[in-house]
């Protein structure tokens, strides 16, 4: 069973960048030649979203890295989905491992945050992934399925959801899941969607891989049948390298 959606590549800039470096990065992206059949999204830090939306080509959509669980109000330091929509943001990343394991967000909170964002019209890049000790204990699918269930408990319409599988042990470490390891989990996620949600959702939902993706490994990963794109961290801060990863869609087309 393989997905039927367009290739999707997101760039998560995390807590990086300055006015000057982001201007340079946007200039590199604006002048790049990106294949037609790939959806491209970048996620700047909140402070720079206005700068990016005001200067980035319409070819690339803008995502936030997080948003609050509901409408705005007396929540110091938070940003609401309503505010993101107001300034032209199209997507939000939810459930990234750094939010889970550094900030301490629970599966249930992430599910609620995702549902609220979807209710406001944002697309959600819904992250899942296991830590090294969980993989070594053969608990990868158990952990990922628990995380998926928390999304499913709150989400009724999956049409604007992209699932990002990011093994925690591969994020920023230089370690990458082998194409076979990644494909195995992506296939398991698609089977879970078919069983728990519907076959239609399983076929339509894009499942992308994240975890030290770069120019040299993206083509081999893209060839796997259930890998529908990437969520890129460090390499997304380098315009030419990020574009090369976006253009790995050509490897996907050859494989198909």
Q: For 172-219, how does the pLDDT look when each residue is reduced to its tens digit (9 = 90+)? A: 888 888 999 999 999 999 999 999 999 999 999 999 999 999 999 999
User: Any idea which residues carry the catalytic annotation?
Assistant: 96, 166
Burial 30-51 (b: 16+ CB within 10 A, else e): eebebeeebbbbbbbbbebbee
Whichever domain contains 38, its CATH number is: 3.20.20.70
Residue 14 lies in a domain: yes
Instruction: Specify if 57 maps to a domain.
Output: yes
User: Which tens digits make up the pLDDT trace of 201-210?
Assistant: 999 999 999 9
- Indicate whether 4 pLDDT > 70: no
**Residue 126: predicted pLDDT:** 98
Backbone angles phi, psi at 11, to 5 degrees: -115, 115
pLDDT band at residue 252, thresholds of 50, 70 and 90?
confident
For the chain, give the percent of residues with pLDDT over 70.
Answer: 98
Q: What pLDDT digit, counting tens, does each position of 66-83 carry?
A: 999 999 999 999 999 999
Overall number of domains in the chain: 1
Is residue 235, in this structure, part of any structural domain at all? yes
Q: Within a domain: residue 2?
A: no
Domain-embedded: residue 207: yes
**pLDDT per position as a tens digit, 90-138:** 999 999 999 999 999 999 999 999 999 999 999 999 999 999 999 999 9
Distance from C-alpha of 160 to C-alpha of 162, rounded to nearest angstrom: 7
Of 232, 225, 151, nearest in space to 185 by CA: 225
Q: What is the pLDDT of residue 193?
A: 98
Give the C-alpha separation, 58 to 66, whole Å: 22
For 100-182, list the strands marked E by DSSP.
123-128, 161-165
What percent of the chain stands above pLDDT 90?
92
Indicate if the pLDDT at residue 54 is higher than 80.
Answer: yes
Domain of 97? 7-255
Q: Does a structural domain hold residue 182?
A: yes
Average per-residue pLDDT for the chain:
96
Tell me, yes or no, whether 195 lies in a domain: yes
Is residue 47 in some structural domain? yes
């Amino acid at each position: 069973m393989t997905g039927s959606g367009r290739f999707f590549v997101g760039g998560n800039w995390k807590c990086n960048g300055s006015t000057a470096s982001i201007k340079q990065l946007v200039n590199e992206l604006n002048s790049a030649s990106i294949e037609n059949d790939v959806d491209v999204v970048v996620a700047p830090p909140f402070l720079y979203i206005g700068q990016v939306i005001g200067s980035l080509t319409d070819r690339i959509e803008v995502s936030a890295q997080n948003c609050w669980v509901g409408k705005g109000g007396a929540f110091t330091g938070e940003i609401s989905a309503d505010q993101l929509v107001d300034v032209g943001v199209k997507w939000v990343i939810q459930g990234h491992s750094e939010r889970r394991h550094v900030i301490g967000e629970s599966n249930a909170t992430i599910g609620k945050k995702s549902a609220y964002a979807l209710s406001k019209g944002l697309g959600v890049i819904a992250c899942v992934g296991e830590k090294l000790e969980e993989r070594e204990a053969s608990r990868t699918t158990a952990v990922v399925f628990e995380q998926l269930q928390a999304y499913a408990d709150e989400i009724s319409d999956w049409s604007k959801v992209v699932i990002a599988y990011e093994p925690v042990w591969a994020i920023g470490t230089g370690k990458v899941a082998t194409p076979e390891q990644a494909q195995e989990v992506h296939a398991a996620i698609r089977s879970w969607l078919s069983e728990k949600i519907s076959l239609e959702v399983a076929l339509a939902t894009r499942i992308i891989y994240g975890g030290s993706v770069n120019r040299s490994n993206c083509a081999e990963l893209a060839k796997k049948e259930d890998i529908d794109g990437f969520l890129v961290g460090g390499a997304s801060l380098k315009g030419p390298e990020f574009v090369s990863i976006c253009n790995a869609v050509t490897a996907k087309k050859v494989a198909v």
